[in-house]
Chain A
Amino acid sequence: MNGSTSPKHPLDSLLRTDRIPHIWCPGCGIGTVFSSSLIAISSTGTDPMKTAVVSGIGCSGRGAGYVKLDSYHTTHGRAIPFATGMKLANPELTVVVFSGDGDLFAIGGNHFIHAARRNMDLTVICVNNLNYGMTGGQAAATTPHRAKTSTTPMGNPEGPFNLPLLAYACGATYIARWTMLHTRDLTQSITEALTHTGFSFIEVLAPCPTGFGRKNKLKNSDLLRIYQEKAIVKNGANPAETILDLEQGITLGKFVEFDRPTFADNYRAVNCD
């Protein structure tokens, strides 16, 4: 490292390099998901000028701040409705929501289910780190039962959502789950989701050694080992039969991909035909 003349990164054109270093902790998995997203965006051939990224609040929510695209860092839980307005106002835009599990599924859960029901043409990438990282590792709607967090010091009395199943029940038309270790599959999925017309959802498991790992006596390498050893890749699996259990196994794959009219298609059909 010689400071002023650091070598150019292949993704620099999509990065606000003047905002680096980022705020993510050592060992955090968000950066890998972020890289996969940028590689996917640059590989789809869609015009970056016509791509907007919308985030909510939290560690993953900071993603919008580092991407050199039109990017909007909104309020906690509200990235999806903001993105909905943006997409409907300018249908030429590819609108990507990049946010975390706490943001999208606790405070923002209502918006997720309705955007999926409407088949709103958005790509939603959820970095699931199993807890609220930015505020210091509290329990989320994705925290495993009995896991320790700073608000469940004796163990989590609640159980987590199975996000792909939730998305499926709500009407999402593209659903995949990967971990940040499966970068090739993940990048491929994000590429497909970006070109898919309709509500696309990708859950990506990423370690949070600072917030989640430490309290559960899991070193970063432990979490990564679990993601590697417990992964069961089952493309096309029925979302109802997928599991996310750090001991039993983690079902990964592209589970759902089909076409049905989007909100905009139906709006035109109902109002204009």
Chain B
Amino acid sequence: MSIDRSQVDHAAELARLELSDDERERLRGELGQILQAFEALNTLDTEHISPTAQVIPLGNVERDDVAAGSLPQDAVLDNAPRVEDGQIRVPPVLDES
């Protein structure tokens, strides 16, 4: 299966992944090769097979709604690159205009 450059660009945008031109070109070839290997899955008849998302026989797991201790705010924010007044600071999410 061959992949074109716009498909690579679209996936990179969805993944929020900045890639150089060289990386995009290399990934175009590699993804094509890898997707080719996936074609083997199409040789099986899976129409009446149900999908397996996880292997353990578990449904919803519930617990009593009781508040428990949590980490102190400082410990949680310690690793954040930018912190202000006990909050994490990021660049604008919405355009002001």
Note whether A and B form a binding pair.
no
**Chain A residues proximal to chain B, CB less than 8 Å:** none
